Amino acid sequence: MTHSVAREPQRRNSRSNRARILATARQELGRNPDVTLEEIARASGVVRRTLFGHFPGRAALLEALAEEASEALRGALAVAAAPQEPAERALAHFVHTIWPVGDRYRLLLALARRDLGDERVAEVLAPARDEVTAILTRGQRDGVFHTQLPPAVLSAGLEAMQVALLEEVNTGALEDDGTRTAVVTLVAAGVPEDRARAVVGEVSRRQR
């Protein structure tokens, strides 16, 4: 047996441990941003030394989570992009597609100021924010969305609302697969409720 073959199970175990630590950290930090590395190790089912072997400290663990979130958001954005769609459909499609990675979004914002820094979080979230701002700009130009706020400001407001709804889902106060949030996002952007429900229904059926 070659050394490379013998080491492969160890590599697989190491990758599995790393993935489990990240998944547990995401969950535990979402519940309590002050959770310690020792508590994360215990919840992951690994010893402290194993966690520190992958992540030498809190900063390294959080940076790994930021990179994981960045990759997930990039993947979702590749699917969410709908430049040929009417703006209201494009916005509904965006919310529905980004919703499954919303917890990563929420976690990044929660950790922004104290741990990761606003600049790093803004760097990760910039593509999503730019996409929504572009959709809102197009919708305001076409008379689909209200013009009470500039597109970038409206985008920031919608983001804050969606993060708040994600928090409610996290606490169990709200059940949503992204459909209800997509509807209220369109309504907040200026689409009449009946029209918003119809658009989101069409988008949901097409995505299924």
44 plus 118 within the same structural domain: no
Q: How many domains does the chain have?
A: 2
pLDDT confidence of residue 201: 95
On whether the CB atoms of residues 128 and 77 are closer than 8 A, the answer is yes
Per-residue pLDDT of the chain (208 residues; tens, 9 = 90+): 555 544 555 577 788 889 999 989 988 887 888 889 999 999 999 999 999 999 999 989 988 988 888 888 888 888 777 667 899 999 999 998 888 888 777 777 777 667 878 888 888 888 889 999 999 999 999 999 999 999 999 999 999 999 889 888 878 898 998 999 999 999 999 999 999 999 999 998 887 6
**35 burial level (CB within 10 Å; 0-12, 13-18, 19+):** middle
pLDDT confidence of residue 113: 66
140 plus 177 within the same structural domain: yes
Residues 6+ apart with CB under 8 A from 19: none
pLDDT confidence of residue 50: 92
pLDDT confidence of residue 150: 98
pLDDT confidence of residue 66: 85
42 plus 77 within the same structural domain: no
CATH number for the domain that contains residue 40: 1.10.10
Tell me the residue range of the domain where 66 lies. Answer: 58-207
10 plus 77 within the same structural domain: no
pLDDT confidence of residue 157: 96
**The model's pTM:** 0.80
89 plus 161 within the same structural domain: yes
119 plus 164 within the same structural domain: yes
CA distances from 154 to 96, 125, 137, 161, 195 (A): 18, 16, 10, 11, 20
62 plus 162 within the same structural domain: yes
User: CA 83 from chain center: how many Å?
Assistant: 21
